[in-house]
A = this chain, B = another copy of it.
């Protein structure tokens, strides 16, 4: 009875425990023959590694975390997810070093590179990097590649160019767009006019959101897509644009696929269109929740940012503890929320929290 352990594998294969370990973890310093003997024994006995025992025995995994000090609205939820999972994995000997840089500053590139270099000195095993676009940080990522440091990028705009030497975690932007369109189709009578607001039309995930939104509308043939605007995530700008949009068109619904939702909602209220023009927003910022509670926003497509942060940490854990390979990219599915389905503060991140199992 009881579980098969490496001890039994070693006996069956006629080698020592250390040799079994090398065969199992793919380390060097083992002969072809020994390795084969071990693998045969594993197969024969049906051995499965106990990773709990493994993480007690191995050295600590040090993960470097480079996150923005600014742009709280968007990044704080990702950072919460990272911190949540790092804390959860303390008993598994996962340690972290955190450095911050100002992603919106002019010298963001330089600041980030500096962080990468300090992390290298700190002797971290891997790096989690939250940023907003690939091109700015190409040099930093190359530096990591030179030093053989694996990097997981979490954030937005990463799809623009998926680097060879890093893994990307991002929301399924195309799906976000489709969901938003479907909602407006349900909320509005046929032949209504809708518009979509993104941060920038030059960034892949925003392009994907527009594409998903537009594709769904064309497929269903219920609504008419009037226009796609760029807010540059600026509330003043989005407010002005919303006013212009309302003045010039008979607009019935707007998908605000990025930040600057406050400006949009303000314009909606100022023009007396609260509750008339249906708004579908993005994420769960304070502005968004406030406007949901006031019935200005009907629904929001949460980009599952908390879970994105959780997954980044967990991916490294699995890699270093179980040798799991990285995939190039992970597209996280968005979650739909309405006012009544919002989670209370105590349940915040419930899916990646209850589900993630505090002490496991």
Contact = CB atoms under 8 A, between A and B. Distances in A.
Interface in A63-113: 88-92
Interface in A314-360: 314, 317-318, 321-322, 324, 332-341, 343, 347, 350-360
Given A91-B50, A360-B89, A360-B317, A182 B338 contact: yes
Interface in A21-44: none
A336 B333 contact: no
A115 interface: no
A296 interface: no
B187 A322 contact: no
Interface string A270-295: 00000000100000000000000000
Given A314-B360, A355-B351, A360-B314, A336 B339 contact: no
Contacts of A341: 175, 179, 182, 333-336
A56 interface: yes
A219 to B, nearest CB: 10
A109 B50 CA distance: 40
What are the 9 A-B residue pairs with the smallest beta carbon separation, nearest first? A351-B351, A355-B355, A352-B355, A52-B91, A182-B340, A178-B340, A179-B340, A336-B341, A50-B91
6 contacts: A92-B360, A317-B360, A318-B360, A324-B359, A351-B351, A356-B356
